[in-house]
Amino acid sequence: MGRRVFSYRNLTLIRSSVLHSRNFSSTILQPPRLCNSQPSTIPGIDFLRQSRRGFAKGRKSKDDSGSASVDVAVDIGPAVKENASAQMDAAVVALSRELCKIRTGRASDGMLDHIIVETRGVKVPLNRIALVSVLDSKTLSVNPYDPDTLKALQKAIASSPLGLNPKEDGQRLVAAIPPLTKEHIQAMCKVISKSSEDVKQSIRRARQKALDTIKKAGSSVPKDSVKRLEKEIDELTKKFVKSADDICKSKEKEITQG
């Protein structure tokens, strides 16, 4: 009899504690009411509710009713085109820099930009320590910002593969552009042709990387979007290949026509 009474007392206490915890939970979760007003909202609770409602895993999300999942389309097009364009453009810029190293029969203020000068134990590009200008179609003028670097400039220009022999003229250097020989013209045209082919291969590699990225995206990209994106990459490739061809043809014209 004592055990039954004890059990009933325990059961009563348990029920009481459960009811008390429910009332306590509802009190905590219930937004506070102001006098004669609608229930106010607690920003923290609303934030948690919205966060849970909007949470999505992978490419799945829920609609407003929360009853069905919806696939989220992934638009990789802009990033793929931007990366491909940057790589192709870098290849064309590198080509332009390489061709500037090739001497033509005509003076150009940029033909010395690639020369590195060592002065006071530091190696710097020539165009950072001197101003190069064209006196006429066959003569360059090199004016150092610091007269103490004149000798270092003269040595760097003379040792470059351009075949120039600059002379001191006061606080500047004057370099005459010697005429090109037939053998030199033929050799330079071969170098340009090789450079053109190298840059085209770089452009095609950038194209292939873009196509591989599209392929790896798989079913996340609609088929019509894939075809459109591949076409845009091909058009981009043709554009940069043409740009490289134009640069090389212009350089060949400079060399052959002097």
pLDDT at position 29 is 40
The rounded distance, in Å, linking the Cα atoms of 67 and 60 is: 12
Same domain, 149 and 188: no
Q: What is the mean pLDDT of residues 31-51?
A: 41
pLDDT: which is higher, 176 or 21:
176
Q: Domain with 87 in it: what CATH number?
A: 1.10.132.20
Q: Domain with 135 in it: what CATH number?
A: 3.30.1360.40
pLDDT at position 63 is 47
In a domain, 122, yes or no: yes
**Residue at a domain's end among 157, 176, 195:** 176
User: What count of Cα atoms within 13 Å lies in the side-chain half-sphere of residue 59?
Assistant: 9
pLDDT band at 12 (very low <50, low <70, confident <90, very high): very low
The rounded distance, in Å, linking the Cα atoms of 90 and 36 is: 70
pLDDT band at 73 (very low <50, low <70, confident <90, very high): low
pLDDT band at 74 (very low <50, low <70, confident <90, very high): low
Among left, alpha and beta (phi > 0; psi -120 to 50; other), residue 252 is alpha
Interhelix angle 223-257/182-217, nearest 10 degrees:
170
Residue 144 confidence (pLDDT) above 60? yes
Same domain, 185 and 98: yes
pLDDT at position 56 is 37
In a domain, 230, yes or no: yes
Residue 33 confidence (pLDDT) above 60? no
**Residue at a domain's end among 132, 151, 176:** 176
Cα-Cα-Cα-Cα dihedral sign, residues 6, 11, 14, 19: negative
Same domain, 242 and 220: yes
Structural domain count of the chain: 2
In a domain, 61, yes or no: no
Residue 16 confidence (pLDDT) above 70? no
Same domain, 237 and 132: no
Same domain, 99 and 120: no
Asked whether the beta carbons of 169 and 210 are under 8 A apart, the reply is no
pLDDT: which is higher, 15 or 236:
236
Same domain, 82 and 120: no
pLDDT band at 57 (very low <50, low <70, confident <90, very high): very low
Over the stretch 200-257, which tens digit does the pLDDT of each residue have?
A: 999 999 999 999 988 888 777 788 888 889 999 999 999 999 999 999 999 998 888 7
Cα-Cα-Cα-Cα dihedral sign, residues 96, 251, 202, 230: positive
pLDDT at position 173 is 96
Same domain, 140 and 190: no
Q: Which domain holds residue 146?
A: 116-176
Query: What mean pLDDT is reported for the chain?
Result: 77
Same domain, 93 and 131: no
**Residue at a domain's end among 176, 199, 217:** 176
User: What count of Cα atoms within 13 Å lies in the side-chain half-sphere of residue 197?
Assistant: 5
Same domain, 164 and 122: yes
Same domain, 99 and 127: no
